[in-house]
Amino acid sequence: MTFKDSLQWVDHLNSRKHLRAVGQTDHVDRATLEEVRSRLAWLRQRRAEIDDGAFDYDIKKRLAERKRLEEDERRQRREARARKKRARRGLLDSDAPAPDADPEAAAMAAMMGFSGFGTTKVN
């Protein structure tokens, strides 16, 4: 479906046809007086907790945590790109001997010329 503007899109999302298609109903339950009172009490309690400082945030701590998460994501993306690159070149992780796994196997592989399947360029 195409729409000329965002208003038509929102109207479509709220239409009965669309709501039925996604499994929702357009029926709204009427709240009782007790439900309204309990909701207002909960909102008052929440506002009081915020005013008391129960939700104080340490911005430096939050920024440090966010920076750490972003660095972890970057590292994971870098590792995934490196794995894909090695797979494209035909060098799978299981083909290369682990440097600290078995020194004799690594020495034998180096002696047989299997020490590097990659490029000959030096960084």
The yes-or-no verdict on residue 7 having pLDDT over 70 is yes
What residues contact 29, with CB distance under 8 A and at least 6 apart? none
Q: How far apart are CA 91 and CA 116, in angstroms?
A: 10
Per-domain residue ranges for the chain?
6-52, 58-94
pLDDT at 97: 47
For residues 9-27, give the mean pLDDT: 89
Helices within the chain (DSSP H only): 6-13, 16-21, 33-52, 59-89, 103-111
Q: What is the pLDDT of residues 19-77, one digit of tens each?
A: 989 998 777 889 999 999 999 999 999 888 877 765 667 888 889 999 999 999 999 99
Q: Over the stretch 75-95, which tens digit does the pLDDT of each residue have? A: 999 999 999 988 888 755 454
φ, ψ of residue 81 to 5 degrees: the values are -65, -40
What pLDDT does 122 receive?
A: 63
**If you average pLDDT over residues 95-123, what whole number do you get?**
65
> What average pLDDT does this structure show over 3-29?
90
pLDDT of res. 2 = 92
What confidence tier does 103 reach under pLDDT thresholds 50, 70, 90? confident
- pLDDT at residue 65 in the model: 94
